[in-house]
Structure 1
Amino acid sequence: MTLPQLPDENVGRTRWLKIAAAVWLLLVSILAVVNSVGLSRLIEQSQASAQDAHVQALNTRVAELEQQAAVSKSQPKPVTEPDFEAARKALDERLALVEQAQATDAHAGELQALQARVADIEARMKRTAASSAAPRRTAEPAKPKVPEPPFNVVGVELRGGERFLSVAAPKPSSVLDVRLLREGDAVGAWHLLAIEARAAVFSVDGQTQRIALP
């Protein structure tokens, strides 16, 4: 013969089940809160790492620009306008990204200092490009000095059907100082090339000189 279960035993079992369910729900809630806090910290750390990476990249780019500005000042070769515009465009894009990511960040002061350095570098590069683009005056070659002949042209004489040029020393003392030159003859460095109607053509030191006939 079986005995019926007591009502008190059922009530106690139900109560323990409710307590166990409440404890389980409490543990699940605690784990959810811990996971949410950990995820938030992880997101904050990743954002801070990304911002630090942007700042580091900007510092590297600024150092490269400063080095380029120093090299452009020490070398005569000017910075070309396309290179300057490309570098400034890339730097502006990086600055825009950093400004957007760090609008309310503690790196605002460092970002302003970097912007001031970039503006100073751009101004120096513009001055260097402007001074390099200024037209340089080329020195005009000196005109060769016309040499003075070591003789005086007396006139033209015709002997045996051939024309001769009579020349004499600057201060002749006798008729022996007068010489007759045919085409091809020379007096010192002066070579007679031709006897024209109104001038005698000479070659001296690689130049062609004409002396009028009296």
Structure 2
Amino acid sequence: MTMPGPERRATLMRVAAATWLLLISAAVVIDHVALSRLAEQLETRAAALRVDGVEQRLAELAQQIELSRQEPNALPKARYESDRLALEQRLTAIEQALDSHPSAEHLLPLQARVEQLEAKLAAPRPSTPPTPRPRPSAPAAARPAPTEPPFRIVGVELRADELFLSILPAGAATVSQVRLLRPSEAEAGWRLDAIDGATALFRRGDETRRLAIPGRQVSL
């Protein structure tokens, strides 16, 4: 039966709208299923990665505990044995649970146990301070031997009412090498301070020497 034009157009529009809604609903359902599968895969992969990380940490801790057992002054052996058995039981439980994709809540007790073991290993051990050794006493510094002026006194001479001391440097052999010193003059770093009777007073820094003057006539 032929329907009027307006009624036919309304029927076609309702059919098109229903078809469009069905297509949209089907697309939404397909997307929801795909997203659910993707989320499940991501959760499974993340759980597997966490389990692998925990297994690696457990293996490192087990190796550290085994090394610590061989060191001196370690904790009692019974505690290490109990920890080792607990770790083995945890590893067995993890291997059995890998097929069931454990969630993060299942790994919390294991992670807490790992942190406790790490805290035990990181705790400092009491050490006995070394006994200080007595320091050897420094040897007493030897006093330097007193130095003597490098010349000898020959005598005294009086020239122009001024008294001079005649000296001969060490190693000199001739009279021509005799030197005359008046008070305040120096020879080889030794300064003549005074001529006092039969002695002559020499000074060099903090050192003083009083040398005898051989008995000779003073020339006028």
Normalised by the length of structure 1, the TM-score is: 0.41
Structure having the higher helix fraction is 1
TM-score, normalising length: structure 2: 0.40
